Structure 1
Amino acid sequence: MRPIAPLIAFAVASLGIAIFSSMDAVMKGLVIALGAYNALTWRMLAGVVASGVPYALSRPPRPSRAAMRLHLVRAAVSAVMAFLFFWGLGRVPMAQAIALSFIAPIIALFLAAWLLKERITRLTLVATALAFAGVLLILWGQSHAELGEDAFWGALAILGSALCYAWNIILMRQQSLLAGPGEVAFYQSLFVAGLFLLAAPWLLRVPSVEHAPALILAAILATASLFLLSWAYARAEANYLAPTEYTGFLWATFWGWIVFGERVSVFTVAGAALIVGGCIIAARRRDQAPVADTEAQLP
């Protein structure tokens, strides 16, 4: 693989997050109109086409068994993660949803200790306490904003999604070392769509044609984001690129205000600052990075 400047990988990852945050705005509208299951299933089916055409035209080699296993595992994790996140996103403001999802890098440290046998330090515990205080502050602010009971359950769903995303951070780095961006984008869409279709006989409904442009746009944005993030994570370490996730808060604030007229409370901003601060503290020690760049950790 041709070496590149780390700053370029950082910029590409930041662009990937910006595109993904824009997709979140499109998906929130679809979730409100169609429900989380139908919005996600049809977006994934559109994503299979959006990612499959360029992948097929590239005449790719057959994926290795190790890569295929990672595609399947990440798809299973992503299916749960996506459903919980978008179900919650339909019930809480976008900025609040993204702020709560920032807890994922902290959770990833504990998953890394369990899965990769990394050491938990006192610094990690301090960072965890700070991030947890941020989560509590956001939830406390939510209780005073009179958003309703649905918003509380939506916030819990997003925290559950963050737990899945923490594992996804580890899988994304491992996957990028075994497969190219086009392969990752295609199989991610294909396998997640397949998992959602298991419930199709009971839950799937054909949306009206007026929702087709938004579904296609969401699929294209998701595919582009997956491609860019996979490209960046194959060229820089996960702990270096992790801060790009925090730019999503700015995009969520922007799109939430422009598209849905959402205002960001001081509790959400303060809570996000505490969570981000905790993540930055946790990342100060390079040997505590969620994923080490070694083939020994690949399944």
Structure 2
Amino acid sequence: MSPEESIDRPDSLDPLEDVLALVGTRATSASTLTGRGEWALRFPAPAGAKFNSVVQGTCTLTVAGHEPLPLRAGDSFLLTSPAPFALATSPAATVQPASPLFRGEGRGAQAGPATAPVTTRLVGASFRFAHRARRLLLDPLPPVLLLPAHADGAAFVQQTLGRIERELDEERLGARQVAQQLALVMLVDLLRHHASTGQGPSGWLRGLDDPVTATALRAIHADPARRWSVRSLAETAHVSRSTLAARFKKSVGQGPVEYLTRWRLELAAHRLITTDQPIAAIAQSVGYGSETALGLAFKREFGTTPGAYRRTASPT
């Protein structure tokens, strides 16, 4: 299913699915890292998001500007900020740049003395996004998301990681594509876990953990062109207007009508650069009565007109 098909479905009820589709989420690489003895690697800032899971042994994750995070077998993490990071099994190990070790996409890398026994294994993947991902998906998230080995769903993650390892090790037909698709499953699992904790900064993902707010979010995503109001959304969630407004603001960080406006404009921006629909038709499809009404709201939000955005923005 293409991103356009997913986000245009009238029966779409999953805000997470909608946002991942809208930003064109894809895994660009999946790889393994085998550590021997003591080792330490320095990684450049990821362009999008970076996932890793410890399959064997222990190591420490250090992200610029944050406290070191000890990791053990079964722990997984997602880096969402463009900051350099390091992985190490010992503070005494000489730090080496990681990039030269990963010679080819989908191939494994070795760290540490070649003659030492294997002490650590990790599986990782990188994610790229095609459309405004930093604001929509990554900015509302903490710089590091952790899925501990004891968390719900962690065992399933390890099973999927085992499949990724086999695909990459055996190099069967389509192995890299399979590994990258499985990596997307890891991404969704980490985002689900974060949503279920109710922790971290406010945002639409945190709102999914509140049943009242989640009902309103799903209603908006199912029919963004509908003339929603706080009253109609509250009726859908079976609560009062004041309750919906307070809980939505607390979890999402903005009011329901403000969220609706921004989501409509994100949809419009996406359609401007991925379709050749007339601007007037796009305006109608996202809930604006006219091209002029969309233009005014679009200019306030993005600082440019829909026509200029279409001419200058890139879908990638």
TM-score class, shorter-chain normalisation, is under 0.3
Relative to its length, the structure with more strand (as a share) is: 2
Relative contact order higher in (CA < 8 Å, ≥ 6 apart): 1
Relative to its length, the structure with more helix (as a share) is: 1
**TM-score, normalised on structure 2?**
0.26
